[in-house]
Structures are given as C-alpha cells and as structure tokens.
Amino acid sequence: MALPAQPNIVIFMTDQQRALQYFPAAWVEANLGNLSQLSNSGLTFVNAITNASRCSPSRGVLNTGLYAPANGLVDVGGTLNKEWTTLSAYLAQAGYQSGYVGKWHMQSSFVAPANVLPPDSSTMAQETQLMATDYGIAGWDAPDAGTALGWNYSPRPTQPPTPADRYTSTSNSLGGGPKSLNHNDCRIADDAIAFLGTVSTATPFALVVSLVNPHDVWADLYLRLQEQAFPEFPAAFDALAHADEFVLPDSYSADNLSTKPAIQAATRAKYTATWAQSRKVDPPTQLGPADALTYLKFYAYLTYLADQQLGRVYTALQQLPQFDDTLVLRLADHGELGMSHGGSMEKDCNVYAETISIPYIFSNPQMYASAQTCSAQAGLVDVLPTLLGLIGAGVPAGLQGSDLSALLSNPGATPTVNCSLFTYDDDTSVHIRAIQAAPGAVSVGSQPTGSAYKYAVYYAFGNDGKVDPGSLQYELYIPGADGEIENLQPANTALQAALHTLLTQRMSALDSSRPALANAITPSGWPATPP
C-alpha cells in the first residue's frame, strides 16, 4: 500500500542513542518493544550516521539540511541562525499542521532562564513566541529540555526529590525519571499526545517528538544524580528480563587507544577524572570492569525508559483514524561510546560506530508488512530533503543532504551518493573531517575496492588560521569490522590516499554549491593529499 501524496509525518528523536550495539538480543526483544515495533514495520538504513556528534550541531544539521560548518552551529549551546528555514517551517509552508515538542538545544538565550526555579512564566512565554517567529515552531512548551539540563548542576538534594510541581526539583530536567518526578521526557510525551488530540483529518500533520534520554547517562558521570533522580536503579533494571546477560564490549579491554589520534586518550582521561571526582577517588586510567558494566547498564536502562515514553505517544498515534497514512521516523542526534574503546564514554572527538551510527527507520505498517533494510549511505543531513521529496514540495537548491525518498519504495535502488560526511568542530582545538564510503566508492590502482570504509582526518589550526600539517592524524576502518579496534591507516597508504581524495572532492563539491549564507566545510589550508 502506497502512502498518500502528503502523508502525516511523526519524527521520534532520542538523544545520545546509538544504533543497537552490545545490548543482548534477548534483552532488546523483551525491553525495547517500541523500537522493535517500528523496525518490524519499517525500513532501516543500516549504514546511517549522524553528521556531527554533539547535541546542538547534530540538531542543526537535521533541521537545516546543511552540515554544521555550513550552517554555522558547531558548538553545544550555540544558536541556530534564524535566517535558515527549519524542517518544521518547511512542512508548515507545504500545508502541514506542524508541531515540535521536546529538546531543541539550538538557542543560547534559553540557557540562563532555564536555571531559574521555578521558571518565570513571562520568560517562558517569550521563548515560545521566539520559537514561532524565528524557527517556525508551533506549540512549543518552554523551558527547552536541552538548556534545562543546566539545572542538574545545582547542588543535589540529600533525599530523592519528589515534588508534585515539575519545576521545583534541581534534577527535574533528567529525561526519563519516574512519572512522580515529572521529568522532561514525561512532559514531552504528554505534550505530544496533547498535540495528536488536536489534529484534523482534513489537513496533514507533522510532529517532532524530541526526548532527552538516554542522554542522562551523563548524570552518573558528573554528579551521581542517578542516586537521587533514578532511585529505582539498579533494582528496576535488574528486574528486567535478560538483564544479567550484559557484558562489556570487546574493545573495552582490547583497544588501549595507542594507535589512535591522541585526543581520544585525552578525552577518556578527562571524563574518567570527572567520574572519579564525583566519587572522591583517585582517577584510574579507565573505569574498572564492575564500574564500567554499571555504566553500560545505566545507559541501557535509560534507553528502556525512553522507549517507554515513545511507546505512550505511539499508542496514541495508533488510535487516530489517520494512522495508516502516517510515516514515522525513528532517529537520534548521535550515539554514546558506552565503555567501548578502552572504557571511553560520551561522544566527543571520535568517529567510532558507537558514536556516529544511529537509529534511522522509516515506519508504516501498511507500507512495510515486515522489517526491511537499505544499505545506502544516509545521515541526518538527508532527512529534510528526503521528506520534502516525499511530499512533492520540491527540494530547495543549496541543501547539502540528498533526497532518499525513492529508496523508501525501492530500497535496493542505486543510491545517488556513495559516501556520508562527518564533521567535528565542537569546543576543542582538535577538529575532524571524515567520510563513510560505500563499497566501490574508491579505487586503488585500476580496481575499485569491495569494502565499505571509514576514513577520518584529525587536525588543528596553526597561528595563521590554517591547518597545521604537524597536527594531522588519521584513522581508517572497515565499518563494524573487529569493533574498529585496529587502525588500518598505517598499513594502507594507497587506500588512504584514495579515500583522502574522495573526502576532499566531496567537501569541495558541497562548498561550490553552498547557499550564500553558508560557510565552507573545507578548512583553510586543507592538504590535497596526506603529507
């Protein structure tokens, strides 16, 4: 069954949720039922990645169809230029009743008010109006669940907070805590269900539901807030079916990061020291196996809680008469290392699958009677042009993503692009430009290579504002092979040269056709070949 010309569109977005890795299959089947339901009646892009690995930059990519350096939002807590037309605004222009609930995290002016408890009602009203006028976002429910994360830096209470008012707890911004705490994900799900109660059968609707979790794994890292905001952990997790089957990924012990860009070990040390400080212990080189496994289980528990909240919204959606005409997208902004690669955590300064591979599912039970997959390269940058192509609205010139809508009905068709681009420029002196290339995208000698490859260039700028040749470091992997433990670059210089050329050409092509307001993706002084 084909979708109507203008199907309803619902985007389920979670924060810091990687594509399924290292969770026992039986645990996933038993405890992530809503994710499974969408994939079992949908098309999963198995090679999909985020195009930037921190919250604000990745969300800017999704909402503009432009890479982070191009749209200018490269830092967490930055502001998206209001001159860009957003995903919600495009859909509203196409005649959709458009709504957005949940985490935005692309407006710096929301940060300070989010730390005022309880929030000032007039300030919240101004934020709601700003979202409508600057970004075309209707039905906003302030405060922003992204900037409200700052509440967690308040002194933690001595007892678990249990206020009836959602805004009086210093840890209420935690996404998936118990309903009694009125945490943000509960609020977001409530708002989404309320929006669905307003939709008309005469007008197509589009709704973005942007949850916080499993991002709250950071709370354990910084302030041990799991003890206060998640008092049921670990008992509630241990009660879940197959919870005892979790083990650490192989790369926890097999990858000491010695052959990887130096920033990775430095980043691991930074987060490990922060973890140790919160527990008043001397920082180890990496978390020991017991603490590491607890971290991984807490991450899994938060993923479970987010799945439960999305399930509430999906159940409400299924009850609408328009459900059969609704396309559901299941996405995340980026992933989480989760103790892979020598006990690393968070998502900074790397291109590992744990960080950049994300859920990327298009679901409709009438369109997909069973689970299907597509091997094409895809990223968050492609969502906007794909949806515009799907509804026949026309893809504006200058968007840097690709229209993948033809693949929704024919997943085996030849893709229009052979690689996905990844950039990282967030709050560090080290920057990254990388590609994930499809099989056959590059040739060595006269023969095209038969494997997919991931190639990354790490660099810093010199005092002249150009890439410092002495700072260059590289990674090369076959995506998914050996857990990306071995860096293949030193032994494959010819292959590296071919991939470097592909990366350079891809950035150059995007720069040459970028909109007038957009910045270049290629950094000044970029080496045409690896030195």
Q: What digits encode the pLDDT tens for the residues 342-395? A: 999 999 999 999 999 999 999 999 999 999 999 999 999 999 999 999 999 999
pLDDT of residue 119 exceeding 80:
no
The answer to whether 30 and 38 have CB atoms below 8 angstroms apart is no
Pair 404, 436 in one domain: no
Q: What is the pLDDT of residue 218?
A: 77
> Between residues 138 and 73, which one has the greater pLDDT?
73
pTM, two decimal places: 0.94
Q: Is residue 414 part of a domain?
A: no
User: Domain boundary at 354, 386, 409, which?
Assistant: 409
Angle at 333 between CA 331 and CA 339, to 5 degrees: 105
Pair 337, 485 in one domain: no
Cα–Cα distance between 211 and 196 in angstroms, integer? 16
Q: Is residue 2 part of a domain?
A: no
pLDDT of residue 274 exceeding 80:
yes
Q: What is the pLDDT of residue 441?
A: 95
Q: What is the pLDDT of residue 233?
A: 84
The answer to whether 499 and 437 have CB atoms below 8 angstroms apart is yes
pLDDT one-digit tens code per residue, 488-510 = 999 999 999 999 999 999 999 99
* Complete DSSP assignment for 143-163: SPTTGGGGGGGSPPPSS----
Q: What is the pLDDT of residue 168?
A: 37
Pair 451, 366 in one domain: no
CATH code for the domain of 489 = 3.30.1120
pLDDT of residue 156 exceeding 90:
no
Percent of the chain scoring above 70 in pLDDT: 90
Cα–Cα distance between 140 and 128 in angstroms, integer? 5
The answer to whether 37 and 323 have CB atoms below 8 angstroms apart is no
CATH code for the domain of 237 = 3.40.720.10
Pair 20, 153 in one domain: yes
Report residue 300 CA to chain centroid gap.
Answer: 16
Q: What is the pLDDT of residue 225?
A: 60
Beta bridge partners of 47: 377
Half-sphere exposure of 236 (CA within 13 A, CB side): 15
Beta bridge partners of 436: 420, 454
Q: Is residue 266 part of a domain?
A: yes
What pLDDT band is residue 276 in, cutting at 50, 70 and 90? confident
Half-sphere exposure of 327 (CA within 13 A, CB side): 25
Please compute the mean of the pLDDT values over residues 456-464 and round it to a whole number. Answer: 97
Q: Is residue 519 part of a domain?
A: no
What pLDDT band is residue 118 in, cutting at 50, 70 and 90? low
The answer to which of 160-164, 215-219, 454-458 has the lowest mean pLDDT is 160-164
DSSP state of 439: T
pLDDT one-digit tens code per residue, 30-73 = 999 999 999 999 999 999 999 999 999 999 999 999 999 999 99
User: Domain boundary at 388, 409, 430, which?
Assistant: 409
Q: What is the rounded average pLDDT for all residues in the chain?
A: 90
For the sheet with 361-363, list strands across it. 97-102, 205-210, 8-14, 326-332, 361-363, 42-49, 372-379
Cα–Cα distance between 166 and 180 in angstroms, integer? 9
pLDDT of residue 513 exceeding 80:
yes
DSSP state of 291: H
Pair 249, 283 in one domain: yes
Q: What is the pLDDT of residue 450?
A: 85
Q: Is residue 527 part of a domain?
A: no
DSSP state of 216: T
The answer to whether 402 and 380 have CB atoms below 8 angstroms apart is no
Cα–Cα distance between 397 and 515 in angstroms, integer? 8
Cα–Cα distance between 5 and 23 in angstroms, integer? 38
Number of domains in the chain: 2
Q: What is the pLDDT of residue 145?
A: 80
Q: What is the pLDDT of residue 217?
A: 84
> Between residues 176 and 402, which one has the greater pLDDT?
402
What pLDDT band is residue 448 in, cutting at 50, 70 and 90? confident
pLDDT of residue 222 exceeding 90:
no
Q: Is residue 529 part of a domain?
A: no
CA nearest 51: which of 422, 457, 332?
422
Pair 84, 183 in one domain: yes
Pair 380, 491 in one domain: no
The answer to which of 176-180, 394-398, 457-461 has the lowest mean pLDDT is 176-180
Q: Is residue 520 part of a domain?
A: no
Find the length of the chain.
531
Q: What is the pLDDT of residue 161?
A: 37
Q: What is the pLDDT of residue 244?
A: 98
Pair 450, 365 in one domain: no
Pair 443, 331 in one domain: no
User: Domain boundary at 349, 383, 409, which?
Assistant: 409
Cα–Cα distance between 510 and 184 in angstroms, integer? 37
Pair 298, 151 in one domain: yes
58 φ, ψ to 5°?
-65, -35
**Which of helix, strand or coil describes residue 66?**
coil
> Between residues 244 and 181, which one has the greater pLDDT?
244
Cα–Cα distance between 296 and 421 in angstroms, integer? 28
Cα–Cα distance between 510 and 134 in angstroms, integer? 26
The answer to which of 62-76, 133-147, 466-480 has the lowest mean pLDDT is 133-147
pLDDT of residue 428 exceeding 80:
no
Amino acid in the structure at residue 241: A
pLDDT one-digit tens code per residue, 8-29 = 999 999 999 999 999 999 999 9
Q: What is the pLDDT of residue 77?
A: 86
Specify burial of residue 178 (Cβ count, 10 A radius: 0-12, 13-18, 19+).
middle
Q: Is residue 228 part of a domain?
A: yes
Helix residue ranges, H only, 202-242: 217-222, 226-229, 235-238
263 φ, ψ to 5°?
-60, -25
Q: Residue 465 has which token pair?
A: 């504002």
Pair 389, 501 in one domain: no
pLDDT one-digit tens code per residue, 224-233 = 666 666 777 8
514 φ, ψ to 5°?
-75, 155
- Domain coverage including residue 452: 419-512
Pair 203, 234 in one domain: yes
